[in-house]
Structure formats: C-alpha cells, structure tokens
C-alpha cells in the first residue's frame, strides 16, 4: 500500500503568516482543546503522526513557541527527537475523523501512515504535514521535559501526573518547540 502524498507545490495550497497573525486568526483553546491536532515528525521517506490534545502557543525566552504533551513511548516522539523538527497540524471539522485515526494505533508496529486517508505534503523546509490542513505550525525542538509529581501544587494535578506515570516504562513529557513557520490554507 502506498503512502498518500501530493506533488502539488506546497505554496500553491498554503500561505505563510506570522505567529502573531495566527494568534489573531485562531483561538488556541478551541484549536487545541476541542479540535485536537496531529504532531508529525520525520521526512518524506519516513514520517509518523500522532494525535495531540494538550498544549499551547506562547513565548519562551521571547521566542514564539508551541508546547504539547507526549507519552515517552510515542513513536512520533522518537522521530521528533531524532530530527529535532516537527509540525503541528490543525484540520477543518470535516477532516477530524481522518485525523483521529492517527491516534488509534502506533506507527511503530502498524501501517497507519499508509492507511490514513490524508495526503502527506512536504513543507519548503522539508517537514511533513497534510494537504487537508487548515493551519500548520513548523517547530524546532527546544526542550523535552519530564514533569514530576512534586512539581505540581494541586492534588488534582498531582493525581493526574501520577496516574499518567503509573506505567513504569513510560512517562508523560512536555515538548517545547520554537515556531519556525506558520502556514494557513489559501482560500479555495
């Protein structure tokens, strides 16, 4: 089975905007918390995506930055650490179910990137995303940090992180990445 990708030039589909314009155009709470997103790492020859549902956009050391949360055993995280660049991709409502498929199984031991009904597309910088996206944020890895239960001050959050880290082989990690480019779908 072939991985679906497009030969349509990236810049024919997407227009670059600044992080500030993205902040004006999109509501981060609905983007991240309601619609979710795909985290994608790797290059055209081999890339992998997972669904993310926590994180945000802001400034870290004055640089526009994204953060997201990934369990340490995610295959996407493995590729992200190797490449040190990745994309966060946000989809229109009608593509939501296709995107959610990327959260249904790991690409480490499945062919999900070939099965997913989305079209891979390479950014001019060589990162991978999807032609169906409404918003693509390209990131350069800044930091991966592993929160400890003692870092949290409310019992609810302490319970959350202990539960997440219950499996002794995996832990929840926070991934910070400097925003290198932001792209929005051109009006069709």
**Helix/strand/coil for 141:** strand
The residue within the footprint of ligand FMN, chosen from 19, 42, 52, 120 (CB under 6 A), is 52
Please state whether beta strands 46-52 and 37-43 pair in parallel, antiparallel, or not at all (unpaired). Answer: antiparallel
The residue within the footprint of ligand FMN, chosen from 70, 137, 139, 179 (CB under 6 A), is 70
Nearest in space to 149 (alpha carbons), one of 133, 138, 163, 161: 161
Q: Which stretch binds ligand FMN (CB under 6 A): 7-15, 65-73, 117-125, 134-142?
A: 65-73
Q: What is the Cα gyration radius of the chain?
A: 16
Does residue number 43 form part of the binding site for ligand FMN (CB under 6 A)? no
The residue within the footprint of ligand FMN, chosen from 40, 42, 47, 48 (CB under 6 A), is 48
Nearer to ligand FMN, 14 or 173 (CB): 173
Q: Which stretch binds ligand FMN (CB under 6 A): 44-52, 123-131, 141-149, 175-183?
A: 44-52
User: How many whole angstroms separate alpha carbon 95 and alpha carbon 89?
Assistant: 12
Cβ pair 123, 136 in contact under 8 A = yes
Residue list 77-136, contact with ligand FMN (CB under 6 A): 100, 103, 105-108
Q: Which stretch binds ligand FMN (CB under 6 A): 23-31, 72-80, 133-141, 143-151?
A: 72-80
The residue within the footprint of ligand FMN, chosen from 4, 63, 71, 140 (CB under 6 A), is 71
Does residue number 147 form part of the binding site for ligand FMN (CB under 6 A)? no
Does residue number 28 form part of the binding site for ligand FMN (CB under 6 A)? no
Nearer to ligand FMN, 81 or 105 (CB): 105
- Phi, psi torsion values for 157, nearest 5 degrees: -70, -35
Please state whether beta strands 135-145 and 85-90 pair in parallel, antiparallel, or not at all (unpaired). Answer: antiparallel
Cβ pair 128, 119 in contact under 8 A = no
Nearest in space to 56 (alpha carbons), one of 160, 146, 149, 139: 139
User: How many whole angstroms separate alpha carbon 98 and alpha carbon 172?
Assistant: 25
Q: Footprint of ligand FMN on this chain (CB under 6 A)?
A: 36, 48, 50-54, 69-71, 74-76, 100, 103, 105-108
């Amino acid at each position: 089975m072939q991985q679906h990708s497009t030969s349509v030039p990236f810049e024919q589909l997407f227009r670059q905007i600044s992080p500030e314009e993205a902040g004006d155009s999109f509501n981060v709470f609905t983007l991240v918390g309601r619609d979710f997103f795909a985290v994608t790492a790797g290059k055209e020859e081999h890339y992998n995506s997972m669904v993310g549902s926590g994180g945000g956009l802001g400034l870290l050391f004055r640089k526009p930055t994204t953060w997201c949360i990934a369990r340490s055993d995610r295959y996407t995280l493995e590729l992200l650490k190797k490449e040190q660049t990745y994309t966060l991709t946000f989809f229109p409502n009608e593509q939501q179910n296709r995107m959610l498929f990327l959260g249904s199984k790991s690409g480490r031991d499945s062919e999900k990137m070939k099965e997913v009904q989305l079209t891979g597309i390479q950014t001019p910088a060589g990162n991978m995303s999807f032609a169906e996206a409404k918003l693509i944020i390209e990131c350069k890895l800044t930091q991966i940090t592993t929160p400890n239960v003692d870092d949290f001050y409310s019992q609810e959050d302490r319970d959350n992180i202990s539960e997440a880290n219950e499996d002794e082989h995996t832990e929840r990690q926070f991934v910070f990445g400097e925003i290198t480019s932001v792209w929005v779908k051109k009006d069709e």
